Amino acid sequence: MTVEVIAGGAVLVDDPWCGRLLLDCGVGVLAAAQLRGVPLAGVQRVLVTGRGPERLDPACCGVLPVCGPGDQAAGAEQVDLGAEVAWLVPTSRGTLLHCHASSWPAAVPAGPVQPTIPLAPAVAAAWDGRLEQLPGPRVLVTGGSRSGKSELAEQLAGQLGDVTYVATGPTVPDDPEWTERVRAHQARRPTDWHTVETADLLPLLTAPGGTLLIDGLGTWLAATLDAADAWSTGTVPDTTVLTEAWATTRRTVVLVTDEVGAGVVPPTPAGRLFRDALGRLNATLARQADQVWLATAGIGRRLR
């Protein structure tokens, strides 16, 4: 991620998660960027703090996608500070708190929190690692069998570093085909990634640490259904503990899941039970995710 101060309190952020953002766009910012040779092409959003139009350069209207107080900005959440508006923006380094300098003391939780990157005087920011009340960015990657979803998730996680790969699938030594699948996954991982083989996700999601790449939700759900004897009872166990941990985790998490709604209706009760349970769980986690990606025929497309 790169952060560049332009002028007049404007900061340009380039990040693999949130894209290209311009934080505030005061009068003269477009001209200042041109004079400094800072290209603004590809800016996806301008997040304007404050209440009135005085912090917005009229030249930006119709040129850049401006999101001000009261507007909806995909992936960013507004925070009402009374006289001001701030933004929470999930990035690869945590959640960026973007607010006007005059609101900085009121915008952060109590405690010794200080900005950790150089910003223009009119902008204050802090990273999720210093703000205990803010969740970490969560990325859900879905797709069908052999769609390339695991490779896509590995590419996304690989941009962040400090990756723990969580393999939720079982070990089946007498199944050569499954063994080859596992070997292919292992061969793709960088040598500096740490691997954990477990279906117990709660301790990992609630503990501090670096990026988690969990592959995948389908095998986790199968293990959960096995443990609850759901195949014979027909009752899906409560998964609220997982969804709450996903919603509140402070770690960056890339979670791989199977898209189960595009195929035929399974011919067995067990197959229908699994399909319905995973479909509902996918929808719940997607609503809480900061990003959702779909892999199809080896091509990844961001849905949100």
**Quick one: which H or E segment has residue 256?**
strand 253-258
| Cβ–Cβ under 8 Å, residues 262 and 221 | no
Give the residue among 123, 122, 9 at the shortest CA–CA distance from 57.
Answer: 9
Q: Could you give the CA distance from residue 4 to residue 289 in angstroms, rounded to a whole number?
A: 27
- Catalytic one among 98, 100, 185, 194? 185
| Distance set, CA 1 to CA 16, 19, 49, 56, 58 (Å) | 7, 9, 22, 25, 28
Q: Could you give the CA distance from residue 97 to residue 180 in angstroms, rounded to a whole number?
A: 45
Please indicate whether residue 98 is annotated as part of the active site: no
- Tokens 């119709």 correspond to 62
Exposed e or buried b for every residue in 245-255, given b needs 16+ CB within 10 A?
bbeebbbbbbb
Active site members = 185
